[in-house]
Amino acid sequence: MNRAPLIFLGIFFALAFSWTGIVLVNQISYGDLTPVYDENDGIAYPQALPGIAQQGRLVYQDLGCVYCHTQQVRRPGFGADIERGWGERQSVARDYIREPRVFLGSMRTGPDLRNVGTRYVDTPTSKAGSEWHHRHLYDPQITSPGSNMPPFKFLYETRKIVGEPSVNAITHLLPEQYQPEAGYEVVPTKRAESLVAYLLSLKDTYAYPETNNVYVEPAPEETKAAGQKEESK
C-alpha cells in the first residue's frame, strides 16, 4: 500500500496549522498597527528615531548587542523588570511599529535597554548621558568594574592632536591608565557617536490606551531600587 500521499498531507497540514495560527493570524490582526496621534502634543507616538539614531541602530545590529541585551520590559509581577527601573510600564506591541528591525532579544547578560534613554540623559546644559556611554563603551571596566561586557575601543580613534584638540575628544573622560601618549587624543568615530545617539533615544515613556490597563503605580520598593541604581552609576 502506498501511503506516501496520505503522509504528505499530514505533514503539510501540521505546519500549515501553526503557520496560519502564529504567522498569518497575527499578521492580519495586528500587522498594521498604527501610531497613536496625541492631540495635545500634536505628535504621533511612537516617534520615529532621529536620523543619527537610525545609524546607531545599525551599529547596534552589526556588533551584536542584542545577544546580551533585551529590549522588552515584562509586566509588573513577572520578573523584576519594573523594580529594577528598566521601565515604567510593560512594553506593548505598538512600541515597536516604527522599527525596521525589532531587537527584543532573548538574553540578559546585561540589563534591558528598552528605556536606557531615561537612565543616562543629556540635557541642554550637560552631556552627562553621552559621556557615560562613551566611557562605558570605551571599556566597561571604567564605569562598571566586574562587568563582562566587551570593550568597544575600536569605535574610537587615537590620533595625534593637530592644532586645536577636537571638541569631541573624550580623552579627559578616561582614567589614568587609559590615557594616550602626550600629544594624542581619543575621539569617537562616527559609529560611536551614532550608537550613543541611539542609546540616548531609547525610551517608551508614552502611555497608549492599551498600556493604561497594564500600568501599575510604582511600588514603594522601586524608589529604593532606583536609588541603588543611582549609586551604582
| Nearer to ligand HEC (CB atom), residue 192 or residue 208 | 192
Q: Which stretch binds ligand HEC (CB under 6 A): 89-97, 107-115, 122-130, 182-190?
A: 107-115
| Nearer to another protein (CB atom), residue 44 or residue 93 | 93
Rounded Cα–Cα distance for residues 207 and 115 (Å): 14
The alpha carbon dihedral of 53, 58, 59, 60 has a sign of: positive
DSSP 3-state of 36? strand
Residue from the set 89, 94, 114, 119 that interacts with ligand HEC by CB under 6 A? 119
How many C-beta neighbours within 10 Å does residue 215 have? Answer: 16
x/- mask, ligand HEC, residues 145-164, rule CB under 6 A, reads: --xxxx-x------------
Q: Can residue 110 be called a binding residue for ligand HEC (CB under 6 A)?
A: yes
Q: Can residue 75 be called a binding residue for another protein (CB under 8 A)?
A: yes
Rounded Cα–Cα distance for residues 34 and 30 (Å): 9
∠ at Cα 211 (99, 80), nearest 5°? 85
Using CB under 6 A, list all residues that contact ligand HEC.
60, 63, 65, 67-69, 109-111, 113, 116, 119, 140, 144, 147-150, 152, 195, 199
